[in-house]
Every structure is written in structure tokens, then in C-alpha cells.
Structure 1
Amino acid sequence: MTARVLIVDDIPTNVKLLEARLLAEYFDVATASSGQQAIEICRNENIDIVLLDVMMPEMDGFTCCQILKQDPQTAHIPVVMITALDQPSDRVRGLEAGADDFLTKPVDDVQLLARVKSLVRLKSLSDELRARARTSHQIALEDASGSEYGVRVEQGRILLVDTDRRRAERLESYLRETHEVTILTEPAEAVFQISGGDFELAIVSMSLQGFDPLRICSQIRTVDQTRSIPIILAAEEQDRPQIVKALDLGVNDFIMRPIERHELSARVKTQIRRQRYTVELRESLNSTMAMAVIDELTGLYNRRYFERHLAMVLAKAEEQDRDTALMLLDIDYFKPVNDTYGHDVGDAVLKEFASRLQRNIRGVDLACRFGGEEFVVVMPDTDMRQAQSVAERVRSAIADHGFQVGLERPLNITVSVGLALNEQENDTPESVTKRADMALYRAKRAGRNRVVADAA
């Protein structure tokens, strides 16, 4: 995962140390020596995350963070405060200023990199939603790029998972004045409970008796209805190695015991604010999207939308020197399905195919119906290895289980897939699509039911 990281610190030695750590992990790094300079860079350049020192002359980190989060142009950029201050009140002040996390010096390298990667993933998904809203031309630009900082954070619906009821009730007492908290002492039911409970946040204890907390988090992340729910871990000091794994699994945040109520409250507000902002973006996009850009049969975006969106994604990728992958899919032997069983069955196959495709790509990917039995997926910030992995998952999801389409027996359906990257100079949507189409043609010639990557 690539990202452009802005380091803000008035001490050059601190900047150099952080810069060296990040460059070693292949991040792109920008630097600023003051809060005002950081604000200007964020407004004028593409920054994915800010590492912000608190103690600086003229403008401290708290003020700088607050300005960034109140400006719709920069509010979506994650901010991690890094400082020698270690009091709970300092962390709370930073979180209430809008910071996404607060790390104390000296910063553990593994923990820092895990937090950066986790927050960049979240920003990537938010950026993609904002980009889709702009592409639609039905949503005003200011609505699509509005600030999450002004989102209401009261009366959050929280599920608290802990096998120790007394410990859970102590946490619940910290939150119940502002939020609706449900305690679950049977972790095995967590996914079922979240799916049916309209929750906005899960708090999971790392000290579950007889259960692996990371397994619970992983299950939440792999189910359609719950995968977007933010998760906070309540952890002990000895849990730090597992916390790094948890962040890689998609856990959003953690808090260390003994838990200070104001810090917990601030972290909960941050997650609920971001969750509600994302939901608002999705609902706004869905409710105002004109039928002109939606394929009526499958519910996916149509070719017209795809062409506009790909042009914008490729322009951004070229500007930031990032990979974009294109996946072109064609259902194998689809004409005989229509000829043998009729168009009603053919339509049912297309709808089920679209559903499986949507379930097996990533949240940041955009699936569209290209025409007939052809589909296409735009994959931002994706190299060929990642694209092949997703494509193979899709191919397997189609081929491994028959299609239940109202016939006596399930239909066996397969798909051929062609992949291409924006790796040639002056690539256009047409040139990348043509290379993906050529790769798809080779997949068909080689026997179908396979993934072939463009050899450019």
C-alpha cells in the first residue's frame, strides 16, 4: 500500500527519524516545520495522512488539527498526533480536536506503521466514495466533499463484547449517558447480534474467556452486513503484539487498560463520527444517483458511468504515480443459456453473477456492467499481484457453486477474466480497456474459466 505522508515537527532530527522509517516502508514523505505550513500543504497537495507534533511554536498541534478538521477541503485527511505528552487529558484534548490517534514518544516502529496503514485504508475507501459522488454529476461537489467534523456524534448504538459482565458494565457506565450500549457476553454471537441490531460501533475486549478476540474481529470484517462497522479493542499492555495484527485485520482503534473514561468517550466519538459520515456519503450517493448511470437489471453502474469514472481515476493515478488495475470479465457460454432456457433464466444468471461479483471485490473497487454478459471492475491503487488475487477470488466464487435460477438443477457458470494496468506512458481509458480486452480474449482462447493478465 502506497501513501503520501506529511510529517509536521519543528525539530529537524525528529523529522529525519520518522522520514527514514517511512521511506524504508516505501511511503512517499512530505515535511513541514510549522502548523501553518502543514495546513497550506494539505490544502494544495494530495496528502493521505498527517503525523503531527503537538509542541510547536506559534501554532501547537491541537490548533493545527482543529483547523484541518474544520475545513471541508482537508477534513477527510487522517491526523495522528505524536508527542512526549503522556497524560490522559492530553490524549483526550487531541482526540476532541479531531485527531484520529495519539501516539506517545518514543514511538514504537511497528505500532506506528500499523496505524498509518490502517488509517490510509480507511481514507482510501472514503476517497473512493467521494470520487463516485463527483462522477455522478448528480451530487453537488460541496456535498460530496463535505466535512465529517460537523457530523452529530450523540446516541451512538454500541455493542460491547466481553465475557466478564462486571468489567463490561464498568465500561458501559462510562458511555451510557451519551450512547445506547448493549453488552454481549457470548462472543460467538457477535456477528449475528451486529447484523440484526443496527449498531454503529463494536467495542471488543482482548481478554475474552475461551475466545480469540482477533477471530471475532475477523468474522465481523468478513460478513457483508457487518464489514463496515468500526471496531475498538480494549487491551492490556501485554496485548501490544496482537494489536498490530488486529490493525492489519481492519480493526479501527484500540484503548489500553486501565481505561480513562474521557479518553474512551473521545475515541468512541471519533469512530461514530466517521461511521455516520461514511453512511451519509453512501446514502446520498444511492438516493440521488440518476437511473441514467445504473444498469436496471443488475443494479451495478453502467458503461456510461464506468467510462467517466475510469477517466477520473486514471488522471488521479497519473498525478500521484500510482497503479490502477482494470478487470474485464465475460461469462463463458452465455448465449447457449439464453437459447436453451430463455431470457428470464439468462437475466437471473446475470443478476446472480453481479451479486457474486460485488461480494468478492473490495470496498474500494467499482463494479460495472460493461454490456451484455460483460462486466468490468475499476481497482484504484492496485498492482498486478493484488488484482490477480481479487480476480481469482471472483473466478472461484462463480465457478465453485452452481447458480440457483429456478431450474430443476443449478446451472454451472464460469467466467473468463482479463487484467490490465495503467503502466504505459500517456495511457487513456481506451488504451487500458483495450489491453484488458486483449487479455480477456487470450483467456477465452486458452480454454475459458481463467484469469489472464496483460503482458505489456
Structure 2
Amino acid sequence: MMERDDLIGHADTLRNAEILVVEDSLTQAKRLERVLRENGFAVRVARDGQAGLDAAREQRPTVIITDVMMPRMDGFEMCRCIKEDRALREIPVMVLTSLSDPQDIIRGLHCGADNFLTKPYGEEYLLRRLRHILSNQELRREGHSQMSVEVFFAGERHKLTADRMQIIDLLLSTFEAAVMQTEQIERLNGETRDAREEAKQLQENFRTLLENLEDAVAVVGQDGLVRYANGAAHLLLGDAVREGTAFPFPLTEEKREVSLVLPDGTPLIADLRVTGSTWNRELVSLATLRDVTETALMRERLKQEALTDYLTGLYNRRGFMTLGEDRLQLAARLGQTLACLFLDLDGFKHVNDTLGHDEGDEVLRDTAEALKETFRASDLIGRIGGDEFAVLLLCDESDQVETLRTRLETALETVNQRTSRPYRLALSMGLATKAPGEVLSLEDLMDTADKRMYKDKIARKGSEAR
């Protein structure tokens, strides 16, 4: 055990130690200087081996810490010069090296280095090596004796001349560095294993999420072939998304609705979204299909309701005018005549006033049914408002409309015979046509038919009066 005076002397040695740092990297030099000063050491810095040698000769440091690769003079050459100088040879020299080249150990022994500090180094390791060197300085001075050793290393024979303590310290520091590197490798291997396990778990979690999604997900390669499809995709598309098959929809990166038929024959509307992604290091398209059948049908229903008269099921004025423009363009494209029939119920106000609105609604529904029975499905029929109706149809012959007028009157007569109403259903009618090439708007066509309908109504009233 150390005596009290020895302990005091040892503490003074640590406190009064001056470290000469020889390092051409400003960042590394500043880092070393900060660590050493924070732990009570005096520090000087030299930028290369020649400057370090000059600084040591100018003022003898306690320990020299030197980098290897430097301009003008490297660390090994500086160390050799110091060990050959009688005034400096007792100064311990610690060499900073990555130990990436096994020859560094031999060079260190040849030049007389006392210790290796392996890059990158931890601050605690640096301080521990320094304290070890300082603690054993006196022992080194007392046991200084040169010895010649011949070694066979890295395929070459080397003859080394160094004192026993130097060899032991250098090899111990090398061994400690190797142990630390081994521990670091084991730690990194452990972290790598943990990372692989975590990645594997994340992959399993990701697959579980995909398989449990209600949305259908398909991974499609740039060749258009399916790489993967989750359970929902197989339920929706069946064999169409089997791995290696061509994806059944174009892969444009825009949201759109697609119609498909399930394997059991059920029709379905799906929202298709496509985004770019990677899969097993391959650029792919990620296609997601969501069942929006109910939403699409509801939207269509609302759209239809906006264009349809709720009471009769015919198009309302808005729907009639919107689709009427399409009929106008179709007639022009086909070179056909477009006919417009404008119809008004006779005596409807009297029915409403005397028999009530429920009876009036029944009259409107029966009239709508008569119109549907008379005209084709391709003809446009609408309830324009109140007791007014209109029909747009394409016709080839001039007498075709008159034939339809007769058929409509027959249909109304059938309704009158079928019901026991105290009145008869009757319609005043006006007809207007637009010939191919004639410039006439839909509003003008309907206005002409409306005016002719009123003339017909007046004529019918006059006839009944006679």
C-alpha cells in the first residue's frame, strides 16, 4: 500500500501534470484540450510532429499525446526523435491511432511509444490511460533497462529494442483496445440482432394491419403484375389479384370510382386510389379500393331526386331542361326533327278546389302513367309545374306526333273508364317542332308549344260550350 507521503506526491503529480497535445485536426485538438482541462490538466497544443518536438524541447511536458498522420513530421517519427533525445526520452508518449493497420503496433515499438489510444476513444478511457501512465512514471524510471527482442509478426521478422515496461505497457494498451473493440462489436451485433427482430416484428405488424383492413390493398409492380394483395382484395376481386396476374384497372395516380362484380355476382362500386411506393426494394404502385356502393347509390339517388318530381316520378322542370339540351344536340347530330308537346290538365283547379289536394295528386299520378304508357322510354317526359307536362321526342315523319296524340287520348280514356271519378281526365296539347339545321333554343321551342297548347285549350272550351 502507498504511504501517506506517497499518496500526496501522487496527487500532486496528477494535479501538476502538463499534457502536450500534437494534433493537426483543429476539432480533435480542441476536444482533447477541453477534456483534459476539465479534469485539471494543463494543456499545450502543437499542430504537427515538428512543432510538437520543438514544443517539448522548449518546455518539457509530463506526457505527450500525438496523432500519427500529420504534415512535415508524423507521430511515429516525432516519438522516435523524443526517445533518442536524452533530455526528453523519459517523457511518456501516447499515440492516437485507429489500429486499422497491424503494422502500427510494430511502428509503435520501433519508435519507443509507451501507449496506444485507439480512435474513436471515450473520455473515461483516455483519463484512465493517462492516470495509469502518470502513476507508473516513477516505476518506469527505476526499472529502465533496454532489451533486444526478435519477433515474427504479420509475416515479417522484426528486431525490437525497448525496455521491458514499455513493451508491457504498449502491449497492454493494445490488448485493452482490442478488448474494447471486441465489446463494441458484440454490442453492435446485439443492437443489429435487436434491430432485425424489431424490423421483423414491424413487418409482421404491418402485414397484420394490411390483412385486417376493410379496404382492399394490392401492390402492383411497374410491369402491371400483382406482387401482393390483402384478404379484402381477394374477397372483392378473387383471382383477378392473384400474385403474378395483371391488375384489372389502369394505374393512374388519381382518385376515381370503378365498377366491378364480386365473385358471387354482386355488383359493387369502389373508390380506387393509386400511390407510388416501394416493396421489397422495388418501385411499385399501391392500389387501394374502398367499397363506396352505398355512398354512390345515395349520391345517385339524391341527384335523381334533384331532377325528378317526387309525386309522379317524371323529370321535374330542372331535370327536363338539363336533359332537354342533350336531346337538342342529339337531334342536330342525327339530323332529325325534335318535337315538343306541351300538355295541360283541363279542369285541374276545380278538382283541387272541390275534391281536395289528395284527389288532385291522384289525377297527376294517373296522367303521368298515361304519358309513360304512350311514349317511348327514350322520349323525355317531365312535369314542368302544377298541372303542366312536356314531352321531347325525336321523330322522322310528320304524322308521328299526331299518332302519339291519338295514343295519349286513348290512354286517358282507358284511365277514365277504369276509375269511377265524377269527372273526366282531359289534356290540352300544343306541338312545336325544330327541323334539322333550324336555329331554335329549347326555351323558344317550349314557348311555342306552350302558346299552341293555350290555343287548343281555348278551342276545346269553345267546342264544349257549343
Shorter chain as denominator, the TM-score bin is: 0.3 to 0.5
More strand by share: 2
Max Rg structure: 2
Q: So what's the TM-score if we normalise by structure 2? A: 0.34
Q: Which has the higher contact order (CA 8 A, sep 6+)?
A: 1
Q: So what's the TM-score if we normalise by structure 1? A: 0.34
